[in-house]
Structures are given as structure tokens and as C-alpha cells.
Amino acid sequence: MGAVASKPDAGATTRDPDLTYPSSDWSGFFKNHFGPSMLWALISIGGSHIVIAPTMGASFGLVAIWMFGLIYVAKYGAWELGVRYNYGMGANPIEGYRDLPGPKNWALWLTIAVFTVMYTFITASVGMSSAAFVAALGPDWVTAPWAYVVFVSAAGALVLVSRYSLLEKVLIGFTVAIGVLVLLGVVVGPPSPERIAETAFAVPDLTGPAFVALFAAAAGFAPTGFSTSILIGSWSMAKGDGAGELRSKGLDPNDPAYHDYIRAWIRTGRRDFNVGYAFSFVLIVAMVILATNVLYPNPPEDANLAFAIGNILSDSFGAWSYYAMLIGAFAALYSTVITLLDGAARATGDILPLALEDESIDSERVRKLVVVGVVVVSSAMVLALGNVPVTLLLYVAAVLAVTEIFFYPANWYVVENHLPKPFRPSRAWRAYYVGSLALVLLFGAMGAALRLGLIG
């Protein structure tokens, strides 16, 4: 564990609490502090990595790496602000949303709408893709829509009774294993020099409907939506570190005597997130490279999604990798479905009493109602739409590029207005936020133009 805080300077305070400082070395970091970011990363290793990244690589080749790089750089700030708030305030950013300018608690209600309405669509899109892999692995009479109903209902039942921890560990194991296999596949079977030269810097028609549709979808889903800054906040707060530990001991985070302590935890929380963020990006790059090698220029479609993704490792490892990839892709997508159901339900259960300013509300009952509602509504949606995993996911992802923007400026506002001054962003960080938020707004404009029929 970390060291115990030394006694504050004379005159600053007479208190001498025992506070747990984070480990400064990497071995201590991984042993004691690493965790929330990987839970977040496992949410991201779903639709964006298994469906969108191969589609981008198969459509545009290696130049898609630059596109994802721009997206990752632009979107990083929203989560960095969330982490800064987690450890600097000892609270989840959602608690600060009550103070956003405008009608009373409007931001809380908007967040509830995202976690109920939008997460129903996200669950349907990611779940339909996972069901496509179930149908590919099963007998001919198993159809993707009905596989969705069965498996998402099972996921909902597990979340309702909180008996999914073992299953989730197994799915995470498969996800990590397929991640390692994908990275090895890039080393063993990279694209040919001719394919690299052809696609690495081949800029597509930036105003064409094909590019706008795919890029808007990637910007919405990769690495994941901004609303997950609320989820990672819950996981970070569960560890009780930083300003959270001060508050639990009745100490004031604004007291300068504790600023070095808080600053150390903000650095540790950012380091934890950076590891998960880098892992997510490396894996999405690997999927683009494999898709460029195996699928380019024929992206997966609704009818052949499982077949196309299953063959993505065939050039590297042979025929046996087809089934390994199918199982791994299903595990990655299905674990995302479970996490979406649980995260959306818990978030709604926690936020509703804040929005209504009524602590007597039974959050557990709200959680269960949200799980049932998402399962029922999304199942009806999938049965009505049929087997359209790629189409639905790209559509929902482009919508997310618009609806999730709110969380970025909201996180920035509460950081600037709630954190003690020493922990607020520097000029350099603020310049980055301005530039990256401008890009995020551009991504949202692309998604909106696409959905409104202004393009294509």
C-alpha cells in the first residue's frame, strides 16, 4: 500500500490524519490502484472495436488509423475532466450537474434520458451484433433476432439478481484472450507493402456520404460515449481515494494542507485512465490493420458480419482462428451488453432521487424497472427490425455523436466551478479543451447532417 502522509507544515493546520498516498512507482500502481480504467476499456471493446473498426479498415484501409487517432485525441478531455473531478472533489461529476445553469435539475433529467432511452438503443445495436455471432455458431434454425431475445433476456435476469460476476469474468477472459490474439495477428500477418502504400495516406472524399456515415459512427461509438464518464466516476469513487477519503474523515479538501495529497491522487487517477485509454486505442488500431489486410476493400455487411469478422485472423493463424474469433467477438460484445444493462440501471437508480430531491425513492426498485424496460423495449425493436446488425449499430453510433456531446462541457463546467483552485485546469489544458470540444461539435454536426438527410 502507499505511504502515510507526513505531518502538515506548522501553521497550516493542527490536524495530522493518516492518509493513504498513492504508490508512485509502476509496480505499486498496478498492484494497488489499477482498475477503473480497465472496466471502462472493456465497455469500449464492443461495437467500436468489433464492428466499426473493421468496417472502417475494410472501407478506407490504414488511413482509418489516422481517423481514429483524431477521434481519440478529441474525446480524451471529457474523461480527463471526469477523473479530475472524481479525485479532486471526492464525488461523481453527476452530483455537480445540479448546479449547471438553466432550469432546475434539467441536466439530471437529460442524463436519465440518456441512460434509459439512448442506452436502450445502444443495447439493441451491440446486442444485435452479438446475436449475429451466436447465429453463426449455432444451427441454421437459430436466427439473430431470436438469439438476441434469449441472450439479452438472460443478461437482464443475471443483472436483476446480481449473479453475473462469474459469467462476466469468463467473458472478460475471452475478451482479453481475443485481444492478445488480435495483436499477435497483426505481428504475424501484417498488410503487404503494396497495401500499406496504397491506403496509409489515401484521403477519401471527406464530403461523401460513405465517409461521413462511417466517420460519424466512429466518432459516436469510439472509444465509447461520454456518458461513461459517469460510470467510471462510480467505479473510481468506490475505491474511496483522493478527496473522497478526506470527506469520509470529515476533512476539508479546500485546506491547503491536503493539496499535495489530492494532487497525487489526481495524477494516479489520470495514469489509470491513460492506461485503459491507450489499451483501447492499440486494440482498435490492430483491428483496422487486420481488416485492411483481410477485408479491404469489401467491408462487412448485415448478412455477412459474423463471417467477415470471423475470417479476420485467417491469414495470420489459419482456419481454426475463425471459431476463436467468433467466440471472442461474441464475448466482447455480450460483456458490453451486461455492463450496459447494469451501468444504465444503477446510474438511473442513483440519479433519480437527486433529480426529484427525494431520498426516500427506492433506488433498487428503479434499477430493476430500468433493466426490465431496456430488455423488453430493445427486444421488441430487434424483432421488428430483423437481422441488421451493421446498419443499426452505425445508425445509433451516429446519433450518439450528437446526444453525448453534452457531457463534455458539463464536466468542464463543474470542474471549473467546484474544484479547489489549485486543481482547476491550466491554460494549456483549457486551450486543449477548446480545440477538442470544437472537433467534438464538428463530429456531432456530421452525425446530425447524416440523420437529417442533409448528406447522402
Nine-digit cell string for 370: 430500468
Using alpha carbons, list the distances in angstroms from residue 237 to 82, 256, 265, 338: 11, 22, 12, 21
Confidence of residue 264 (pLDDT cuts 50, 70, 90): very high
Map 59-120 to HEC letters: HHCCHHHHHHHHHHHHHHHHHHHHHHHHHHHCCCHHHHHHHCCCCCCHHHHHHHHHHHHHHH
Rounded-to-integer distance, Cα 447 and Cα 443, Å: 6
CA 49 to chain centre: 11
* Count of beta carbons in the 10 Å neighbourhood of residue 360: 6
Percent of the chain residues topping a pLDDT of 90: 70
Q: Can you give the pLDDT at residue 250?
A: 85
pLDDT at 378: 98
User: Could you give the CA distance from residue 70 to residue 278 in angstroms, rounded to a whole number?
Assistant: 14
405: helix, coil or strand? coil
Q: How far apart are CA 186 and CA 12, in angstroms?
A: 56
A 10 A CB-CB count for 358 gives: 9
* pLDDT at residue number 4: 41
For residues 325 and 54, the answer to whether their CB atoms sit within 8 Å is no
State whether residue 224 is helix, strand or coil: coil
Q: Average pLDDT over the chain, rounded to whole?
A: 90
Say whether pLDDT at 11 is over 90: no
The cell numbers describing 328, all together, are 471472442
For residue 220, the model assigns a pLDDT of 95
Written as one letter, the residue type at 313 is: L
Q: List the single range of 40-49, 108-117, 360-369, 417-426 with lowest mean pLDDT.
A: 40-49
Does the pLDDT at position 163 exceed 70? no
Cβ–Cβ < 8 Å for 114, 360: no
pLDDT digits (tens, 9 = 90+) for 115-160: 999 999 999 999 999 999 999 999 989 999 999 999 999 999 989 9
Q: How many CB atoms lie within 10 A of CB 344?
A: 28
